[in-house]
Amino acid sequence: MATADVVVMGGGIFGLSVAWACVRRGARVHLCEAARIGAGSSGGIVGALAPHVPETWNPKKAFQLESLLMAEGFWGEVAAVSGIDPGYLRSGRWQPLADDAAVEMARGREAGAAEFWRGRAGWRVVKSPPDGWAPESATGLMVEDTLTARLNPRAAARALVAAIRTKGGVVEEGRVEPPAGVLGPRRTAVVWATGMAGLEVLSSEVGRKVGAGVKGQAALFACEAGARPQIFAEGLHIVPHQDGTVAVGSTSERDFADGSAVDGQVEALIERARALCPMLREAPVIERWAGVRPRAKSRAPMLGPWPGRDRHYIANGGFKIGFGMAPKVADVMADLVLEGRDGIPEGFRVEDSL
């Protein structure tokens, strides 16, 4: 078996994206997934690529903005190479405004978007359209942003696997260690993108907790909403997909016995979504999903060298924002492991969670 330049452990969105970024630069890449591609939270159904609010700017928000702006080119190339549509569309987002205070705050953020988003996307207060999709707004107004995008998580994972293989990379499922012969004596870099399992191993090695899992539950409706904008209302993301479905999510549960079990919380979520969105009131639910998302102690992605392990690196902790952050995370990690260039921003380093 041929020696790899980069071995990626983990077949979630960070692992697949890092593998793709490396293989497209000509590296020999071997990806190993312990269970199946998208077995963890990356195999979910929501796929909301939504920005932080454009105010109190910081490195995390700047990194996310750059990643969201990269996404169209990133996913377009993946689709072209793989022949699989990942379901990407920069569809925008509507957020109903409940009262005058919310309207005032939203108008204040218009100036922030103009400054920080640099004219590449907009955030503005508009009248709510009476089209049967938008939730009722007590003020008759909503925020419309043009930066938010959607992605079908499972289709995106399939597309990345196919693109990696088309470029000569190897993707293996059911493997917890790299196969013999893949690791070179000194040159091979190993990137650990193993979600909750990786956070637990790192916690054990450093002797303190570096992160935790947060369970989320979501639902998928059979509803043809086309290219309508996403909705964010009362803490819910309502996301139309290209395959005639609408995803709704998600809960955030710190205490749970079974991370993969759906329960009454998802039923409450379904009822709230139906109350908010007229088009969902009669739409059948075709899937209920639950999974545990890795949340690093810093609450930002955890990127960089694994402490005490030569040529081993970590790409983890994409809590709620993993798909949106993936293009830039992949780029930064490829820079680091292939060229030794460290572009990891403040707050994203492994040591920030130690």
Asked if residue 130 belongs to a domain, the reply is no
Residue 34, domain extent: 6-85+152-211+297-353
Asked if residue 107 belongs to a domain, the reply is no
CB 151 within 8 A of CB 87: yes
pTM: 0.96
Asked if residue 338 belongs to a domain, the reply is yes
* Cα–Cα dist 68/255, whole Å: 31
Q: Domain of 338: which CATH number? A: 3.50.50.60
Asked if residue 198 belongs to a domain, the reply is yes
* Cα–Cα dist 327/344, whole Å: 13
Asked if residue 138 belongs to a domain, the reply is no
3-state secondary structure of 138: coil
Per-residue pLDDT of the chain (354 residues; tens, 9 = 90+): 588 999 999 999 999 999 999 999 999 999 999 999 999 899 999 999 999 999 999 998 999 999 999 999 999 999 999 999 999 999 999 999 999 999 999 999 999 999 999 999 999 999 998 888 999 999 999 999 999 999 999 999 999 999 999 999 999 999 999 888 898 877 899 999 999 999 999 999 999 999 999 999 999 999 999 999 999 999 999 999 999 999 999 899 999 999 999 999 999 999 999 999 999 999 999 999 999 999 999 989 999 999 999 999 999 998 999 999 999 999 999 999 999 999 999 899 999 988
Which amino acid does the sequence have at 270?
I
Asked if residue 10 belongs to a domain, the reply is yes
* Cα–Cα dist 95/233, whole Å: 6
Split into its structural domains, the chain has a count of 1
Asked if residue 95 belongs to a domain, the reply is no
* Cα–Cα dist 184/319, whole Å: 32
Asked if residue 175 belongs to a domain, the reply is yes
As given in the structure block, the two tokens for residue 196 are 């909750």
Distances (CA, A) of 181 to 29, 30, 259: 13, 11, 36
Strand partners, 304: 314
